[in-house]
Amino acid sequence: MGKRIFKKHPVNPLIRASDLPEGIMYLLNPGAIKYNGEYILMMDAATLSTPIVFWLARSKDGIRFIPDQEPVSWPQWSAEVTECCVYDPRITFINGEYVIMYASQAMSRGVRTGVVKTLDFKKFERIKQEESGINNRNSVLFPEKINGRYVRFDRPMKEGGLESAGMSISYSYDLQNWWGGKTLMEPREACWDSHKIGAGSVPIKTPHGWLEIYHGVDQVGNSFIYRLGVMLLDLDDPSKIIARGLDPVLWPEHDYELMGRVSNVTFTCNAILEDDSTVKIYYGAADTCIGLAEAKLDDLLDACRNSNPHLLKFYGKITT
């Protein structure tokens, strides 16, 4: 068996709903970034009335977080469309500002990718998006332009949202109009990511390619298991997959990951590369609380090219 890539912090769960002011049932799936000498988490906070709002928590050491006293004051989608729920933010620093891509739910048009920017995590400004007519989630912006274009991951979805779904990539010149969308990667039969896949973290640039930590879903009977895996993409053309790891690098195993609002979930919207090449992820556990896991960058890169002789023995060659 391969070695364990991510090590979970002994203080997990790092943050629970009880750490926030009253009125929050669950915490999950934070975006995370380092800003002005602090770690900032932008957490999904499920309120007693069910809609999710964004809530910030801040830390000097990346372990002990202090939540803000109030949720984020979030800009409206438009005068015509009101968001009934926002969730799963990914924060990218690019061109001197922080761009947040997130899932925007509205009764009038399903779920879309919302885009908001900030300079200080106090004031937030919306970047208007052209209507696509397609449900979309798990959008993640690359941290630099490639060939003069913004690049992002997407996960287009059918109306129901429970069907099998793959991961796509698209492009923009202005962060408003997105085009050229193409399928990047599909679920793999018989693997841990056999039902649905989607982006997780903002990609990390390495000399070997763009490292992406993504999530995969496996359907077991009437339930689902959410795990994390890794892949490596070409630096100049990230629509080209160099390698895709066969095994997951993080999976639910402890009570706080196995039982909660949604059971059997480990899900990330972030990855922070430290100066010592440690990669931190703050992950949603069972859609209920937040954990911290750490890995070495070289181990994650090696995991992109791993193999599993036990799986191959039964299923033969499994492609990316």
Give residue-wise pLDDT tens across range 140-152: 999 999 999 999 9
Coil, helix or strand for 88? strand
CATH number of the domain that residue 150 is part of: 2.115.10.20
Tell me, yes or no, whether 320 lies in a domain. Answer: no
pLDDT at 1 over 60: no
How open is the CA angle 133-137-142, to the nearest 5 degrees? 110
Residue 151 maps to a domain: yes
* Residue 22: how many other CB atoms lie within 10 Å: 7
pLDDT level of residue 312 (50, 70, 90 thresholds): low
Against a cut of 0.85, is the pTM above it?
A: yes
pLDDT at position 41 is 98
Judge whether 39 lies within some domain: yes
Q: Which residues pair with 35 in a beta bridge?
A: 38
User: How would residue 316 be classed by pLDDT, with cut points 50, 70 and 90?
Assistant: low
pLDDT averaged over the chain? 93
Cβ contacts of residue 291 below 8 Å, gap of 6+?
8, 9, 12, 13, 14, 256, 257, 266, 282, 283, 285
Letter for the amino acid at 160?
G
Would 152 be classed as within a structural domain? yes
Domain contains 62: yes
Summarize pLDDT for 11-27 with one digit per residue, the tens: 999 999 999 988 999 99
Q: In 227-243, which positions are buried (b, 16+ CB within 10 angstroms) versus exposed (e)?
A: bbbbbbbeeeebbebbb
For tokens 């500002």, name the residue. 97
Q: What angle do CA 35, 53, 95 make, to 5 degrees?
A: 35
Residue matched to tokens 């896949």: 197
Mean pLDDT on 290-314? 85
228 to 75, 202, 242, 265: CA distances (angstroms): 31, 14, 18, 10
Residue 310 — pLDDT band, cuts 50, 70, 90? low
**What value does the mean pLDDT take over residues 49-74?**
95
Residue-level pLDDT at 222: 81
Q: What is the pLDDT of residue 50?
A: 75
Which residues are 90's β-sheet partners? 101
The answer as to whether 88 is a domain residue is yes
Interval 222-233 mean pLDDT:
96
Asked if residue 190 belongs to a domain, the reply is yes
Provide the pLDDT confidence category of residue 270 given band limits of 50, 70 and 90: very high
State residue 140's pLDDT score.
98
Count of domains for the chain: 1
Question: Does 187 fall in a domain?
Answer: yes
Instruction: Note down the domain range covering 256.
Output: 7-315
Instruction: Render pLDDT for 80-96 as a digit per residue (tens, 0 to 9).
Output: 999 999 999 999 999 99
Q: What does the block give as tokens for 181?
A: 């969308």
Provide the pLDDT confidence category of residue 221 given band limits of 50, 70 and 90: confident
